Structure 1
Amino acid sequence: MRDSPRLSSVRATRPAPVPLSLHPVLVCPFLEDAESFLREAVGNRRPVLCTETRLLPVLNRAITGLERMFPGLARVCIRGGERNKTRRQKERLEDALFAEGLDRQGVVLALGGGVVMDLVGFAAGTFMRGVPFINLPTTLLGMVDASVGGKVAVNTPAGKNLVGLFHPPAAVCAVLSTLSTLPMAEIRSGLVECLKHGLIADEDHFEAAGSAQPGRMARDPSAFSGFVERSIRIKGAVVDRDPEERTGERNLLNAGHTVGHALERLSGYRLRHGDAVAAGLCWEAALSVAQGYAAPPLLVRVQAAVRRLGLDPMRDEWPDRDILEAARSDKKNAASQVRYIPLGDVGRPALPSPYLAAIGPGDLRKARALLGRR
C-alpha cells in the first residue's frame, strides 16, 4: 500500500483538493468510479472485507462490486449498533481475522457505518501490532465523521469510546449511491453532524444543513455531495492541526458531545448518535447562553435548525443530576470538572483553544429553563 500523501483530495463530481494530511479521501457517485482509487490503495496487499451482518442484503451491490475488483475477497461479519461496540466484539473480530489468515501484509476493508469503522480500525490498529485498513462508509454520519481522522475505539460500561487509539485509515472512499439505502432517521443523524461542523466553523454550512430536505436527498444521493465534501474539509482542517489531541484544537469537534454522549449512555445506546448530538447541541447552546458566552439568538437558531430536521431539541427524559453524572467519564474532563465547548455564535467557538469551559452546579438547571422557553 502506498504511503499517504501530505496533500490529499476529496473528489465527487469534480476535483476538490483538501488539506488533509492523514489519509487520501475520495467522494464519488458510484463504486465503479472508485476502482482505480481502491486498487491503488490496496496495492499488493491481500484484502479482507469486514461488514455488518444485518447489512448484507442492503449492501449486496457494493459487496459484489468489491468482489469483482478483488477476486477471492474474504469476508468477515460483525454485529452492528452502539451496544455491540465492545471489547468482546473486538475480540471476536480479531479471532475471525486470524481464522481468515490475515497477516501484516494484508489490509482490512471496513464497509458500513461508524460502529463498523470504529471496531475495524481499533482491531486493525492492534492486530499483529498494526495492519492498515480502508474505510468505506455507507452512512452519511460515517462519511462526515467516523471515517475521517483516525480515532478508533470501543465503548465500556464507564462510557463511550473510552478504550481506543489513534490509527488513521490508509484511505477513505465515500460512495454516495450507498446512501440511497438509508432510512430517514439515519439521514437526519448525519445532517446533525454537518450542522455541528457549521456551528463550529461555517455559518453557511450550518444554514444549509439546517435547511436540508432529507426526503428529497434520499431520492437523489448526489445531493449529499456538497454536505460530505464541506464537512470533510472542516473536520480535516481541525484534525490536521491536532491529529492526536495533544494541543486541544481537536476538542472543537466535540461540540454538543458532552451532553450528547451522556444522553446516549443514559438511553443504553438505544438513542441514535445523531439524535443525541442534536439535543446535545441545543443543551450546550443553552449552557453557552446561561454562562454568558453567547446571546439568546444563538439558542433560537440551533433549536430551530434541529426542529427543521424533525428532531427533539431537548430530550428531557432524564433529570439534570443523571445527565451530569453520565458525563463524568467524558474524556474532556479534568480536575473533577465536567467540561464542554461553549459557542459564541454560529460558526464561532466562544473561547480560544482548547475551547473548554466547566459545567458548574446549577448550570444544567438554567439551561433546561432556557430550553423549555423556546
Structure 2
Amino acid sequence: MRKVRVELGKESYDIYISHGLQQELVDFVKGAGFSKQAMLVTDSNVGPLYGEKIRRLLEEGGLKATIATIPAGESSKSLRMAEELYTKAIELGLDRKSPIFALGGGVVGDLAGFIAATYMRGVPFVQLPTSLLAQVDSSVGGKVAVNHALGKNLIGAFYQPKAVFMDLELMKTLPKREIYTGLGEIIKYGIIYDADFFAFLESHVKEVLGLEPEATVHMIARSCEIKAAVVSQDEKEAGLRRILNFGHTMAHAIEKETNYVRYNHGEAVAIGMVGAADISARLGMIPEADVTRVTKLIETLQLPIYADGCTVDAMYRDIFHDKKTVGGKVNWVLMEGIGKVMCRNDVPEDVVRAAMAARIAK
C-alpha cells in the first residue's frame, strides 16, 4: 500500500492507494468519531457493482449507511440533483457529525462533496473514487462543485475530505475509455511538475495502458504526490495551484460546446493540453520538439488531439466565462518546458484563435 499525506494543517488527510483496502476503511471509520447515521452517494453505474459491498464495510465500522443513487453522467452535477440529496440527508436525520461518502467517479465526488460542504454548513466527507480520473484529479485537493448552464464548476467550494481511499480492485470493471480519460490528467502532472514522470509514461506505455499493478500504483501515487504538494502550498488557488489547470481553459470550452456529452473530461483536457503547448510554442516559450513529445504521448495513450463539434468563435467566447478569467483577462497555464509551466494573462487573441483552429477536427 502507498499512503500520500496532504498537509493542510488542521485539514490534513491521508490518501490510501492499494489493491484491496477493506480493512483500512473499516479501521478508519471505527476511529473517526462520526455519528452513526451516514449517507453513501453513488451512481447508477457504480452502485449496482459496489454499493452494497461498501455499505456493509461501513456497517462493520459501526455506521448505519443509506445508499443514495444518482443517474450516471455529468448532467447529475446540478443544483437540482443537489436539492434531492439535501432532502435525503434531512429525511435520514444526518447531523453535523454524520459522514457523507462518495463512491464513484468525479461527478459523484464533486456533487457529494458539495453537499457535505454546505449541508449544516459542513459535515464529514470521505472520498472513495472508482475511476482513474477521479483518483488522480477530482478526489484530491478539496474542490467540490456543481455545474451551471453557463459554465462548468461555477458553483462550489474548497472543502477537504477526511480521507481518500483508492481501492484499485474497483478499477477492474472500468471501460477502456474511462482508463484513457484518466491518463489525460496523469500526463498533465508530468508536463507541469516532473519531467522524469513524463519520461516514465513515455517509456512504459504498454504497462500503463494495461494497468499493470506496479505501473498503476506508481502513476496514481506519483500523480497524487504532485497534486498534494501543490495543494499543500496553495489550498485556495491564490497562485501556484493554478498550474493544475494546464489544458483546462480550452478543455472547458470544448466540453461546453459539445454539451458535456461528446468528450470525457480527460479527453477534453488532452486536446486542451495540445492547444496550450501550441500556444506556448507560438509565443516562443518552448521548441516545437516539446509540442511533438506532448502530442505523441497523448495520442499513444489513446487520447484525442482534435475536437469535433466546436467552432473557434464559440470556444473563444467560452473562455471568458472560465473561473480563471479575472477582469476580462484569461489566465493561461503555459509551458516553459517538459516539467515546468507558468501563468500568463497577456496571450494575444490571434494566437489563441490560431491554436483553437488547429485543434478543431477538419
TM-score w.r.t. length of structure 1: 0.88
1:184-195 equivalence runs, <5 A: 184-195=176-187
| Structure 1 residues 100 and 172: alpha-carbon distance in aligned structure 2, compared to 1, 3 A threshold | same
Among candidates 325, 328, 341, match of residue 320 of structure 2 = 328
1:169 to 1:359, Cα distance in 2 relative to 1, 3 A: same
- 5+ residue gaps, structure 1, are 1-10
CA RMSD of aligned residues (A): 2.2
Structure 1 Cα separation of the partners of residues 108 and 123 of structure 2: 16
Q: State how far apart, in whole Å, the 2-side matches of 1:265 and 1:83 are.
A: 12
2:126, 2:40 → 1: CA distance? Answer: 10
Q: Structure 2, unaligned stretches of length 5 or more?
A: none
SS, match of residue 154 in structure 1: strand
The worse-fitting range, judged by mean Cα deviation, of 208-217 and 22-31 is 208-217
Q: How far apart, CA to CA, are the structure 2 residues paired with 1:73 and 1:365?
A: 50
SS in 1 for 2:153: strand
The corresponding residue for 2:297 is: 305
Does residue 101 of structure 1 match 2:97?
A: no
Deviations 1:335-360 (Å, cap 9, x if unpaired)?
Answer: 212331011111011x3xxx233442
**1:273-319 deviations in Å (ceiling 9; x for gaps):** 01100000001100111122211111101110110011211215322
Distance in 2 (CA, whole Å) between partners of 1:371 and 1:39 is 47
1:273 aligns with 2:265: yes
> What do the CA deviations read for 1:5-32 (whole angstroms, capped 9, x no partner)?
xxxxxx43xxx55453332221121132
> Which residue number corresponds to residue 183 of structure 1?
175
Alpha-carbon offset, residue 55 of structure 1: 1.9
Distance, in Å, in 1 between the alignment partners of 2:62 and 2:251 is: 40
The amino acid across from 1:42 in the alignment is: A
The match for 2:20 is 30
Q: Report what 2:218 is aligned to.
A: 226
2:184 counterpart of 1:172: no
Query: In 1, distance between residues paired with 2:15 and 2:139?
Result: 10
Q: CA deviation at 1:71?
A: 5.5
Task: Write the distance in 2 (CA, Å) between the matches of 1:58 and 1:356.
Answer: 44
Equivalent in 138, 155, 161 of residue 153 of structure 2:
161
Q: 1:136 to 1:41 in 2, by over 3 A?
A: farther
Give the secondary-structure state (helix, strand or coil) at the position aligned to 2:156.
Answer: strand
- 2: distance between equivalents of 1:136 and 1:93? 18
Residue equivalent to 2:118: 126
**What's the counterpart of residue 339 of structure 1?**
331
Instruction: Report the alpha carbon displacement of residue 238 of structure 1 after superposing the two structures with TM.
Output: 0.7
Contact 1:113 1:138 (C-alpha < 8 Å) held by counterparts = yes
Q: Distance in 1 between matches of 2:112 and 2:31?
A: 17
Partner residue of 2:189?
197
Q: Distance in 1 between matches of 2:108 and 2:250?
A: 24
Q: 8 Å contact 2:26–2:58 — kept in the other structure?
A: no
Q: Return the offset for 1:329.
A: 0.7
Q: Distance in 2 between matches of 1:300 and 1:223?
A: 24
What secondary structure sits across from 2:155 in the alignment? strand
**Aligned counterpart, 2:243:** 252
Q: TM-score, normalised by structure 2?
A: 0.91
**Superposition deviation, residue 371 in structure 1:** 5.9
Counterpart CA distance in 1 for 2:62 and 2:201 is: 36
Alignment partner, residue 136 of structure 1? 128
Whether the aligned pair in 2 keeps the contact of 1:118 and 1:154 (CA below 8 Å) is yes
Say which of 336, 355, 358 aligns to 1:367.
Answer: 355
Aligned equivalents of 2:25 and 2:105: distance in 1? 21
* Other-structure match for 1:6: none
What whole-Å deviation, never above 9, does each CA across 1:186-219 have from its counterpart, x for those lacking one? Answer: 11111111100111001122233354335521xx
Distance 2:137 2:155 in 1: 18
Contact 2:181-2:303 at 8 Å conserved across structures: no
Q: Which moved more, 1:298-307 or 1:20-29?
A: 20-29
Counterpart of 1:76 (choices 65, 68, 86) is 68
Q: Could you say what secondary structure the match of 1:58 adopts? A: helix
1:20 aligned to 2:7? yes
Q: Which amino acid aligns with 1:216?
A: G
Contact 1:177 1:221 in 2 (8 A): no
Change (3 A) 1:41 1:309: farther
Structure 1, 260-269 or 203-212: larger mean CA deviation:
203-212
1:133-168: per-residue Cα shift (whole Å, max 9, x none)?
Answer: 111111111111111111111110111100111111
Q: Alignment partner of 1:27: what SS?
A: strand
Residue 64 of structure 1 and its aligned partner are, at CA, apart by 4.1
- Between the aligned partners of 1:258 and 1:370, the Cα distance in structure 2 is 16
Identity of aligned residues (%): 34
